Structure 1
Amino acid sequence: MKWVKTIGRILGWLLLALALLAAGAEALASLQSGAWKPMAFGQVWYDIHKESLALAQPAVQRYLHPAIWDALIVSILLWPAWSVPLIPAVVLLLLCRKKPKNRSFA
C-alpha cells in the first residue's frame, strides 16, 4: 500500500502546481487589466477545450442525475480556477503524507 500513498502524494503535488499556475495566471491578468477579476473554472475549461465542457453536461445529466449538474457542478464551475485543483491537492497531501518517525529524546 506504500505505492498508493506515493501516487497520492505525486498527484497532490501536481494538483498543487496546477493551482499555483492558475493563481499566477489570475494575478497576471489582474495586473494587466488593473483590477482584480477572478477567473472562473468554467471559463478556463471553456477556453481550453469547449467541446469537452459541452459534452460533460449531458453526460452527467443522463448517466448520473440532472440535479448533480445543476446543484453541484454549476457551482464548482463558478469557483475561482485556482481553488478547484487546490482542494483535492490539500486533501491528497494530507491523507498521503509520510508519518513522522518516532523520535524520543529520553
Structure 2
Amino acid sequence: MSYTVGPKLGDARAGWAAGRWGATGALWTGGLGAAVGIAALAVALPSVIAYDSRTDRHAAAVRFQRDAELSPSSATTDPVDSAVCPSPCGILWPEPPLLVERLPGPQDAGP
C-alpha cells in the first residue's frame, strides 16, 4: 500500500505547497517534512538506531555461514568473538532451510 499511496501523497503535498509558496516553498516543506519524519522514527524506534551488526547474533551467524561457504578450510566453530558472545557460542550454526528451489536456467540446457 505505501508504494502506491506514498508518491501520490508526496505529489499532493508538493502541489499544495507550490501553489501556496511557490517552488522554493515546496522544496523547503518537503525537506523539513523528511527531516521531521526521520526524527520521529528515530524517537519511535530506538532499537533501529542502536542496532550494531558486529554484535547481533543473527548477523554474526550469517557472516560465519558466508565465510564458511567462501573458504571452508578457514571456518571455525565460533561465529562470534567470545568477547561479544557469552558461553553458548562454541557451536556450529545450522544451515538455513532451502525456501525456494532453484529453477533451471540456460546453464542447465544439454548439448
Q: When the two structures are superposed, what TM-score results if normalisation uses the length of structure 1?
A: 0.32
More helix by share: 1
Larger RCO (CA within 8 A; separation ≥ 6)? 1
Considering only CA atoms, is the larger Rg found in Structure 1 or Structure 2?
Answer: 2
